[in-house]
Amino acid sequence: MEGATNNNSGASVTKITEPHQKSAVLIENVARLLFSSDYYRKVDRTTDIAGRLPNAIYTLPPRLVQAIVGRAELSAATRVALVAECKKFFLASREYEKSKEVFVDRHPVRTTITLDCGRLYSEGDNIHGQCGIGSVKKNDVAGPRLIRLPPVLDVWHDEGRWFANTTRGLYAWGWNYLGKLGVGGDEDVWQPRRVLIDSDVLDVSLIPYVSFFRTVSGWFGCGSNRFGELGLGRTNMVTTPARIPGSEGVTWWGGGSGTTFGFSHDGLLVCGENNEARCGIESTDYKITTLTPVVLPDDVKGRVDRVVCNHWSSFFIADRRCFACGFCRSGQLGLGSDERAIPTPAELPVPVDDIVTNSFVTIIRSGDTLLACGDNEFRQISTDNRRKLTTPTPLDPPGPVMKVVVEQYNVFIQLTDGAWVGSGLYRSCFIPVSRLTSSTSVSPGGPRSRTSMLGS
């Protein structure tokens, strides 16, 4: 647009430039081509005109349709009918676009799969067969490529494995490490194969190296079972889904690092690796191979909505109340103790909204305040001389915080202005840093921590 002016009063003068004049001529020519026949001059608003025009015009924006129809030699009734019909088709096409679902998996590199009217289309990384197109020669698919499946109802994915529930059952493909696809064997699957369950699958729940499938007859599981994390009473790898005893009341699963948590209305269940008593069951046995209730107060045990755990410790959060157990030699549980292991979950002295924990350091978000506890050998959480902090102690960042990243000997904080500051090894206070070496993060007031194994 040229020659347009705008003064303080809001008045403006607009001059139509040559490109606009060409556009007007184009519209007139298109209109003459589309609406020059006697049929369109005689049609009335009750005539079904769907399918009588070129398909393209039905998906044009309503304003452009009105401009074209307005320049055609049509009766008023015909214009109304055409505009109304085109509006319906335009809105239908917009709703159709919105109905598409796009799923993105970033392990090991980005793979994108789109669910469009019951069909799946894939593109991106295909090193483990994640694109499901049956080719072992392409590590990157330009796509989108159609994945050959019966009509698809729902899709689940996590770290290179994909599941699609179809009108003919559940199919899986992609990274099959430790048999987590449930198709038998542990080799990668390059095109969809049926998951070996006889019953209809109602839901899928995925945690690292383990897959769970809910049916009308209960939950089935497959994948890594080295520490008994499938709750089957044994520790061998499972490549064909097996029924999980005692899982009838479980609504969803979470966990990681060899430990599985089952959430139910009656309480929290756990099985798997119990390193340093982090399962919270008053037992120091290293492997828990059957589902066992976590020891929590009666008024919270059925209301836990998040569990944050690492290889040493676990934190159970319910309505801002937080209970911790596991390894505590550096005080990272925030319970005022430096005992080696605390097997029974004990309540933290502060309300908790979010937690990120890595090795021997824990950062807690309580309202607008960030608190820290654990190892302080390199002054990563406090500038005083204490080598460990056993109770939550306020952090002192140099500004409002957007994200926190915790390493064993460092704490990095991203401020709301985008700048990163760090404290710890080679620095004794928060100073500007140029880059990070860890992706373990918590966003106070924002997305949940990627260290939080559950509730995502």
Domain check: are 154 and 72 in the same one?
no
Percent share of the chain, pLDDT over 90: 55
Q: Does residue 271 lie in a domain region?
A: no
What tokens were used for 92? 């239908």
Cα-Cα-Cα-Cα dihedral sign, residues 48, 51, 52, 58 = positive
Which residues are 166's β-sheet partners? 152, 169
Query: pLDDT per residue over 63-74, tens digit each?
Result: 666 666 666 666
Which residues are 332's β-sheet partners? none
The phi and psi torsions of 339 (rounded to 5 degrees) equal -65, 155
Coil, strand or helix: which one is 24? helix
Q: Which residues contact 414 (CB under 8 A, 6 or more apart)?
A: 401, 402, 403, 404, 405, 420
Q: Which of 165, 196, 227 is the last residue of a domain?
A: 196
Containing structural domain, residue 88? 2-99
User: Could you tell me the pLDDT band of residue 44, with boundaries at 50, 70 and 90?
Assistant: very low
Least confident of 41-45, 109-113, 197-201, 452-456: 452-456
Q: Does residue 176 lie in a domain region?
A: yes
- What is the average per-residue pLDDT within 265-289? 93
Domain check: are 436 and 356 in the same one?
yes
Q: Which of 66, 99, 132 is the last residue of a domain?
A: 99
Q: Does residue 43 lie in a domain region?
A: yes
Q: Does residue 279 lie in a domain region?
A: no
Contact predicate 338/364, CB 8 Å: no
Domain check: are 139 and 53 in the same one?
no
CA angle (169 as vertex; 165, 173 as ends), nearest 5 = 60
The phi and psi torsions of 68 (rounded to 5 degrees) equal -65, -50
- What is the average per-residue pLDDT within 410-414? 91
Q: How far is CA 172 from the centre of its chain?
A: 19
Domain check: are 8 and 82 in the same one?
yes
Coil, strand or helix: which one is 450? coil
CA-closest candidate to residue 309, choices 206, 452, 142, 109: 452
Q: Does residue 72 lie in a domain region?
A: yes
Domain check: are 81 and 26 in the same one?
yes
How much helix, strand and coil, in percent to the nearest 5, is found in the chain? 15, 40, 45
Contact predicate 387/376, CB 8 Å: yes
Residue with tokens 């038998």: 184
Coil, strand or helix: which one is 353? coil
Domain check: are 55 and 31 in the same one?
yes
Contact predicate 318/294, CB 8 Å: no
Coil, strand or helix: which one is 87? helix
Whether residue 164 is predicted with pLDDT greater than 80 in this model: the reply is yes
Domain check: are 410 and 353 in the same one?
yes
Domain check: are 107 and 191 in the same one?
yes
Q: What is the pLDDT of residue 304?
A: 93
Whether residue 55 is predicted with pLDDT greater than 70 in this model: the reply is no
User: Higher model confidence: residue 54 or residue 335?
Assistant: 335
- What is the average per-residue pLDDT within 345-372? 93
Query: pLDDT per residue over 167-220, tens digit each?
Result: 999 999 999 999 999 999 999 999 999 999 999 999 999 999 999 999 998 999
Q: Does residue 222 lie in a domain region?
A: no
Count Cβ atoms below 10 Å from residue 129 Cβ, excluding itself: 24
Q: Kindly provide the residue ranges of all beta strands, DSSP E only, lying in 274-353, ordered along the sequence.
A: 287-293, 306-309, 313-318, 321-327, 341-347
User: Higher model confidence: residue 135 or residue 371?
Assistant: 371
Q: What is the pLDDT of residue 92?
A: 66
Contact predicate 132/120, CB 8 Å: yes
CA-closest candidate to residue 264, choices 250, 280, 252: 250
Furthest CA-CA distance within the chain = 93
d(CA 279, CA 294) in angstroms, rounded, equals 7
Cis preceding-peptide flag for 345 (omega within 30 of 0): no
Q: Which of 177, 196, 215 is the last residue of a domain?
A: 196
Q: What is the pLDDT of residue 383?
A: 86
Whether residue 435 is predicted with pLDDT greater than 60 in this model: the reply is no
Count Cβ atoms below 10 Å from residue 331 Cβ, excluding itself: 25
Which residues are 369's β-sheet partners? 366
Report the domain count for the chain: 3
d(CA 262, CA 284) in angstroms, rounded, equals 20
Query: pLDDT per residue over 303-344, tens digit each?
Result: 998 999 888 899 999 999 999 999 998 999 999 999 888 999
Q: What is the pLDDT of residue 152?
A: 94
Domain check: are 402 and 357 in the same one?
yes
Coil, strand or helix: which one is 404? strand
Query: pLDDT per residue over 98-151, tens digit each?
Result: 778 999 998 878 999 999 889 999 999 999 999 999 877 668 898 789 999 999
Contact predicate 40/78, CB 8 Å: yes
Whether residue 38 is predicted with pLDDT greater than 60 in this model: the reply is no
Q: Does residue 129 lie in a domain region?
A: yes
Q: Is 169 buried (19+), middle (13-18) or exposed (0-12) by CB count in 10 A?
A: middle
User: Could you tell me the pLDDT band of residue 257, with boundaries at 50, 70 and 90?
Assistant: confident
d(CA 340, CA 123) in angstroms, rounded, equals 49
Q: Does residue 436 lie in a domain region?
A: yes
Q: What is the pLDDT of residue 39?
A: 38
Query: Rounded mean pLDDT of the chain?
Result: 81
- What is the average per-residue pLDDT within 354-370? 92
Domain check: are 125 and 58 in the same one?
no
Contact predicate 401/417, CB 8 Å: no
Whether residue 48 is predicted with pLDDT greater than 70 in this model: the reply is no
- Produce one character per residue of 244-281: b if its CB has 16 or more CB atoms within 10 Å, e if not: bebbebbebbbbbbbbbbbbbeebbbbbbbbbbbbbbb
Q: H or E element: which one contains 104?
A: strand 101-105
d(CA 159, CA 136) in angstroms, rounded, equals 19
Q: What is the pLDDT of residue 282?
A: 87
Whether residue 283 is predicted with pLDDT greater than 50 in this model: the reply is yes
Q: What is the pLDDT of residue 2?
A: 32
Domain check: are 68 and 94 in the same one?
yes
Contact predicate 337/313, CB 8 Å: no
Domain check: are 172 and 121 in the same one?
yes
Which residues are 145's β-sheet partners? 122
